[in-house]
Amino acid sequence: MTRPIKGIALASGLVVMLIGFALAVTVWSYRNAVDARDRALDAAPAVLRVARGDEFDAARAAASAAAMLDPAAVRAAVARPGAGPSRSQRSVSS
């Protein structure tokens, strides 16, 4: 009678340990994801500076990246006076 109880206790202990391990891995992963998001948001102003540049391909790629990183910052940048193509881009497209 004690043998099945010991087996159940051992199995229950293993399950609790595995659940604890899974929880620890989840918390660790979430913390890393939050840190990565914070670093990406910190990079958004620098990416927006490139997006305002004269080099079309780099500006287009930077604008796309900035829109994914921080859409609100892109909307604010677009709403500012003087937003849009630079003079050199206007002369090429004219």
| Number of folded domains that form the chain | 1
- In this prediction the pTM is 0.38
Task: Tell me whether residue 30 is in a domain.
Answer: yes
In which domain, by residue range, is 9 found? 2-81
How far apart (Å, rounded) are the C-alpha atoms in residues 18 and 49? 47
Task: Tell me whether residue 24 is in a domain.
Answer: yes
How far apart (Å, rounded) are the C-alpha atoms in residues 62 and 44? 9
User: Which helix (H) or strand (E) element contains residue 22?
Assistant: helix 2-51
Other Cβ atoms closer than 10 A to 56? 14
Task: Tell me whether residue 91 is in a domain.
Answer: no
Model confidence pLDDT, tens digit, residues 12-31: 989 999 999 999 888 888 87
Other Cβ atoms closer than 10 A to 6? 9
Task: Tell me whether residue 86 is in a domain.
Answer: no
Phi, psi of 53 (to 5 degrees): -75, 180
Model confidence pLDDT, tens digit, residues 37-90: 777 777 777 777 777 766 777 777 877 888 887 788 878 887 877 766 655 544
